[in-house]
Structure 1
């Protein structure tokens, strides 16, 4: 019986890297927006929650039928009698009332093991709710029931119509035992809470004002800005306004930070803004040097595609020289970026020349906590 559980668990672990890949982007955005930085303990807990949910889902759904057009079940696939599993255990177990040792036979019965598995299945869920999310008893009961109901509906609908017929039983006892498991997990979380770091105190242990903007955060802001600029460029071209991505980028980066206090859309998403080295707002000249070097010169060189009219008018030899210069510039910037990733205390060249830097825009809650800790 335990061997049958190893099969879906192994598939859940294989699927985890893919799920984590899709989970990471929203995770980073939420953490930067809500907390202002990435806490390792908080990240570990949320990725463990993702791994648990994958295991729970695969344990409930696997193995799948061989074909989408599976055969219709012979009997009813719905069991609506509460606590029917207790009667099944008593009927299928040879228990002698006057012989207490015969009671142990219950522990080996398939009906008992299945009920115990359904309780254990949601114990981790209750632990997460109680320890990480700090929910109340009533909320834990409701969410455990909702999770169990989602599993049961997924099964009875053949994964929401993917299969022609249901291949697992909708059992009201599963709702009861899963909800009980969530409550047990919640109680365990209350017992072990004193042995683990308090989630609500994680930020108070960090020196928030000393936090620096990492390259992961900057790359995410760049990704968000790139997505916005690409969308705007496509819309403009659909309106028959033949404006290049480079032109849209130049207008965006040279104007938007000046009217938003050093923020672009991407920087706003991850709570960072552009300032001068001394902490004052960046001047227009600083902004133009920074983004002119990065997107104007380097970006403009890469915008000159082989079929660009400018290169075509310059002639083949000169166009080849410009393309080679672009390749060398890209290679030099890549090496420069790698070196700065290794030696993080040095700014990038366009930051050095423009005397600007990215700083974290802390949420009001974080600012208040940082001030309170400093006062203490």
Structure 2
């Protein structure tokens, strides 16, 4: 009787790495923006909750019909509105002899009983997460658990909102009741569990953001966001045939903007970091050397490949020179990754660093 439940759970675990990868950047950005740093325990809980949601969705939806044009179910109604109908189902199907306690173990092999148990268990982690992580009150947990269950039931009875010709599961009021009960049981369990785990509201009490190192993952997210915006603006200027478009954009975006905005670009603002110089305020010279070297010089040399047509052999020599430079930059980056005390060249030359703020 466990096979119908093990099948979707196995799919959830198989596809979890893909979902985890897709959610990694949003998770990190939210943590950086809200708390200023990434707490591993908080991140673990978020990924655990993601895994739970995937299991819950797969349990609700799988197995799917073989075709969108499925046949209707052999029932008179797709809606079951009689509360506690599951009691009648259990009494009708069970092989338990109620006067003999030794036969109660048979319930663990019976469909009607297991369906009720799994409907309760389905939303227990949801209630635990709301209470422990989000610190939700009992009324919020009750409404949210009922809402999640209602979403599941509507999704099923509408054939995933009209994707299938006919519903392949029934809307059952007992499922709503048991799911909601599961959420409230999760709330009670979380109240007990929080006495044995770190309190969420105290995770950041002893954290000094000024001593936190800006990770290369965080730098990479900021860099990717900046480059996407840069390429978008650059492409627009190229279409308009503006001469020297890349250098205009890079100077305005990576030098003028951070100088006027306390060392922040859009990308660095997203992950809550900024450039800090030797003094209290960032100097124009510092930002000129730092971002000028990285974006105007190195980035500008790469931009010329797309904007300047070198004749014959000179084109190949130029590409080879870029390859050598990129190889050196890559090795330099790897060495900095392996040695946290080693500074990137543009930081070393400009006496600047990235800080949280």
The two structures share one fold, judged by TM-score above 0.5: yes
- Given that 1:223 and 1:266 are in contact with CA atoms closer than 8 Å, whether structure 2 keeps it comes out as yes
Give the secondary-structure state (helix, strand or coil) at the position aligned to 1:213. Answer: coil
- Given that 1:122 and 1:181 are in contact with CA atoms closer than 8 Å, whether structure 2 keeps it comes out as yes
CA distance in 2 between partners of 1:200 and 1:155 (Å): 37
Correspondence 1:321 to 2:322: no
Unaligned runs of 5+ in 1: 362-376
- Given that 1:127 and 1:182 are in contact with CA atoms closer than 8 Å, whether structure 2 keeps it comes out as yes
Residue in 2 aligned with 1:43? Answer: 43
Alignment of 1:1-376 (within 5 A): 1-75=1-75, 76-93=77-94, 106=107, 108-237=109-238, 241=242, 244-276=245-277, 278-305=278-305, 308-309=307-308, 311-312=309-310, 315-361=311-357
Distance change >3 Å, CA 340–CA 104, structure 1 → 2: closer
Residue in 2 aligned with 1:369? Answer: none
Unaligned runs of 5+ in 2: none
CA distance in 1 between partners of 2:279 and 2:200 (Å): 32
CA-CA distance at 1:179 after TM superposition: 0.3
Distance change >3 Å, CA 99–CA 254, structure 1 → 2: closer
CA distance in 2 between partners of 1:190 and 1:68 (Å): 44
CA-CA distance at 1:205 after TM superposition: 3.7
CA-CA distance at 1:246 after TM superposition: 4.9
CA-CA distance at 1:153 after TM superposition: 1.1
CA distance in 1 between partners of 2:333 and 2:23 (Å): 27
**CA deviation map 1:208-260 (0-9, x unaligned):** 33111111111111111112222323444566657644542232112101111
Give the secondary-structure state (helix, strand or coil) at the position aligned to 1:203. Answer: coil
CA distance in 2 between partners of 1:228 and 1:255 (Å): 16
Distance change >3 Å, CA 95–CA 41, structure 1 → 2: closer
Q: How many residues align?
A: 356
Distance change >3 Å, CA 64–CA 243, structure 1 → 2: farther
TM-score, normalisation: structure 1:
0.89
CA-CA distance at 1:318 after TM superposition: 3.2
CA distance in 2 between partners of 1:24 and 1:349 (Å): 28
CA distance in 2 between partners of 1:54 and 1:357 (Å): 40
Distance change >3 Å, CA 97–CA 357, structure 1 → 2: closer
CA distance in 2 between partners of 1:287 and 1:266 (Å): 16
Say which is worse superposed, 162-171 or 68-77, in terms of deviation.
68-77
CA distance in 2 between partners of 1:351 and 1:233 (Å): 25
How well do the aligned residues superpose, as a CA RMSD in angstroms? 2.0
CA-CA distance at 1:74 after TM superposition: 2.5
CA distance in 2 between partners of 1:333 and 1:94 (Å): 72
CA-CA distance at 1:144 after TM superposition: 0.7
Say which is worse superposed, 125-134 or 347-356, in terms of deviation.
125-134
Distance change >3 Å, CA 99–CA 230, structure 1 → 2: same
**CA deviation map 1:115-144 (0-9, x unaligned):** 111001111111111111111100111111
Give the secondary-structure state (helix, strand or coil) at the position aligned to 2:353. Answer: strand
Say which is worse superposed, 334-343 or 220-229, in terms of deviation.
220-229
